[in-house]
Amino acid sequence: MLRDRLQLTGTKYGCGEGQCGACTVLLDGRAMRSCRVELSAAAGKQVTTIEGLEHDGRLHPVQAAFLEAEAFQCGYCTPGMILAAVALLAAEPNPTAEEIAARLSGNLCRCGTYPRIVAAVQLAARAVRQGLPR
Q: Which CATH number belongs to the domain containing residue 91 in this structure? A: 1.10.150.120
- Residue numbers of the domain that contains 62: 24-129
Could you report the per-residue pLDDT of 29-38, keeping only the tens digit for each? 999 999 999 9
Contact 81, 21 (CB under 8 A): yes
Residue 7 within a domain: no
Q: How far apart are CA 19 and CA 107, in angstroms?
A: 8
Share of the chain above pLDDT 90, in %: 93
Residue 12 lies in a domain: no
Confirm if 65 and 121 have CB atoms less than 8 A apart.
Answer: yes
Residue 98: phi and psi, rounded to 5, are: -65, -40
Number of domains within the chain? 1
Does the pTM of the predicted model rise above 0.85?
yes
Q: What is the per-residue pLDDT across 90-102, written as a single tens digit (0 to 9) for each?
A: 999 999 999 999 9
Is residue 86 in some structural domain?
Answer: yes
